[in-house]
Amino acid sequence: MGLDIRRVIEGKVFNTNTAEYVLTTVRHKLGYGDFTSELTCLYRTKKGQWFLAGKGGASTRWCRPSNCGSSTVEGEGLRLISPEEAQELLEEHDGDVEAYFEVEEG
């Protein structure tokens, strides 16, 4: 997907290049200068840990503090999520839920 993010969290390495890519969500892709533009990808490690990695504008979950003042600027990041959050994201974005989770007839 083009994201190259690696972080160490609680003594464990999480890397978009070695984890299994599962899904991408894009919000408000309006172009340069859009503070709400965000690209977020869902990944799963070989050990089964789910995580989000992404980049986005100054008004997104991926923003970072600016070097001057109290404002924020565009940024990127990685965040661990629970299996329940991953399933919810897959369902919300018509992902392949059945490839990763047990489902039953409604």
pLDDT at 12: 96
CA dist list (Å): 29 to 55, 57, 74, 78, 90: 12, 10, 14, 20, 20
Across the chain, what does the average pLDDT equal? 90
Sign of the dihedral defined by the CA atoms of residues 37, 21, 52, 106, in that order: positive
Find residue 16's DSSP bridge partners.
Answer: none
Residue 19, amino acid? A
Average pLDDT over residues 11-34: 86
Q: What's the pTM value of the predicted model, to 2 decimals?
A: 0.87
The span from the CA of 85 to the CA of 75, in Å, is: 22
CA dist list (Å): 94 to 18, 23, 31: 24, 10, 25
Confidence of residue 104 (pLDDT cuts 50, 70, 90): very high
pLDDT at 30: 60
pLDDT per position as a tens digit, 40-73: 999 999 999 999 999 988 888 888 888 887 788 8
pLDDT at 2: 67
